[in-house]
Amino acid sequence: MSAKALLLAQEALIKPFEGLARRLPDGRVQAYPDPGSGGAPWTIGWGATGPRIVQGTIWSQAQCEDALAHHIAYFWAGLCKLSPSLPAAHDRRIAAVISWAYNCGLGNYRISTFKRRIDAGDWTEAAVECQKWNKASGRVLPGLTRRRAAEAVLLR
């Protein structure tokens, strides 16, 4: 992946939409509950979740940055396996797909019509499918709607 696609995904999509919530006065960051469920999964940094992230978890800014870089690399590797033609796409499209997968997960990507449209090279319809993924716990969330709209712009 080009550095441009990585930077675009990270700075234009993932960081703004995930946010770095619950900053403490000393600069560290505290875990917060999932906005869709009000509880699990607990999240920290720019959307990091997992079994070791629970209520009360606190990370440094450096830990948040490291986790973000690690997760972007993880999702990019997974996307390349699931959609081998994706690396040939334009940087803006790669950035949008990484952001989507970062938020929705590789399991959802694998079974999605969104993936099928990308694999077919139908970027217009991929943008339409992308925007359907704006719910959490069955509820439409305004933040997810805005994120999917921003990703869709880059997919076209």
Query: d(Cα 132, Cα 130) in Å, to the nearest integer?
Result: 5
Report yes or no on 68 lying in a domain: yes
Q: Which helix (H) or strand (E) holds 99?
A: helix 91-104
Structure tokens at 76: 């990019």
Q: How many domains would you assign to the chain?
A: 1
Q: What is the pLDDT of residue 38?
A: 81
Beta bridge partners of 48: 44
CA dihedral sign, ordered 147, 38, 10, 23: positive
Report yes or no on 43 lying in a domain: no
Structure tokens at 55: 């209520």
Q: What is the pLDDT of residue 55?
A: 94
Report yes or no on 24 lying in a domain: no
Burial class (CB in 10 A: 0-12, 13-18, 19+), 36: middle
**Chain segment 8-62, per-residue pLDDT in tens:** 999 999 999 998 889 999 999 999 998 767 888 899 999 999 999 999 999 999 9
Residue range(s) defining the domain that contains residue 149: 3-18+62-155
Structure tokens at 30: 């505290």
**Chain segment 49-79, per-residue pLDDT in tens:** 999 999 999 999 999 999 999 999 999 999 9
